[in-house]
Amino acid sequence: MRKRERENPCGVCGHYHKYEEGEVCGVCGHRMPAAQERSVQQDSAFPSEILKDLLYLGSYDNASRGELLKTLGISRILNTVPACQNLYKNSFTYHCLQDDKHLQFDDAIQFLEQCERDKARVLVHCMSGKNRSPAIVIAYLMKSKGWRFAPSYQWVKHRRPLVELSQAVHQQLVEFEQRIFGSNEPVPVQPLSLSDSMPCFGFGYPKSIGNSPVPMFNQPGMPSIFERTGPNTTPSNFVFGAGRNTEQKIVESSALNVIPPTGSETPMDSS
């Protein structure tokens, strides 16, 4: 078998043929259904990055591109389909789930948590990257991040729009959520307000949140600090600029009953 046939098998039947171009498989006669041509063409050779520098989600076709995975820095692969071959055992660390009907969430999460501790990038894949492997990733987000099922699903779906959970897998995730959180009731999420995202410049005053008291200068209807000071309230003994020295001399001289001469007068002869 040529190298290209080993690295680029069909993502559905596992044999080499130009599946994306509609070519019939020479081994099993498999051919892409016309209804799936458009969705498959939208898929990418690159896996979807779910958590930066850690968790990737993809198909068997993505897992078969060894050189591309190395380029992405992926060193470990979680195979969720027992029937899928592990093509590069000498190049990647594989972990395989053995049950093809019931997803082993705890086993998969334990492996993914070890990858996180080791700071190793890992690819989670199934045959098409739409059902089993997304379910494992969603379960991992619920367990490791503490997110409920709905936001975890939205996070994965946003990063890989091809995700389509079957009814059976969906039910397994609902049961897993109930086992973790003890209830299926959604937890209300507090929206992020402007005050939460922007720093508060309170100048020593407490920030007003909810029913907390507001500083007096912020009370509705209260005049500003400029309005509360009446006009022409400059102190009588306050002058601006150089005039201060002159007035001070006058005050000090008055206390001694001496009138200082002005610049245009000549001092009187003491005799």
DSSP state of 101: S
| Max CA distance (Å), the chain | 137
Cα end-to-end span (Å), the chain: 132
| Known catalytic membership, residue 115 | no
Is-contact 7 65, C-beta < 8 A? yes
Catalytic residue of the set 28, 115, 126, 200: 126
- Contact of 78 with 95, CB cutoff 8 Å: yes
User: Helix (H) and strand (E) counts for the chain?
Assistant: 10, 5
Q: What is the DSSP letter of 229?
A: S
The pair of structure tokens assigned to 161 is: 């729009």
| Phi-psi label, residue 129: left if phi above 0, alpha if psi -120 to 50, beta otherwise | left
Token pair, residue 99, equals 């049950």
- Which residue has 């306050």 as its token pair? 238
SS3 140: helix
| Alpha-carbon span 219 to 208, nearest angstrom | 11
Could you give the residue numbers annotated as active site? 126
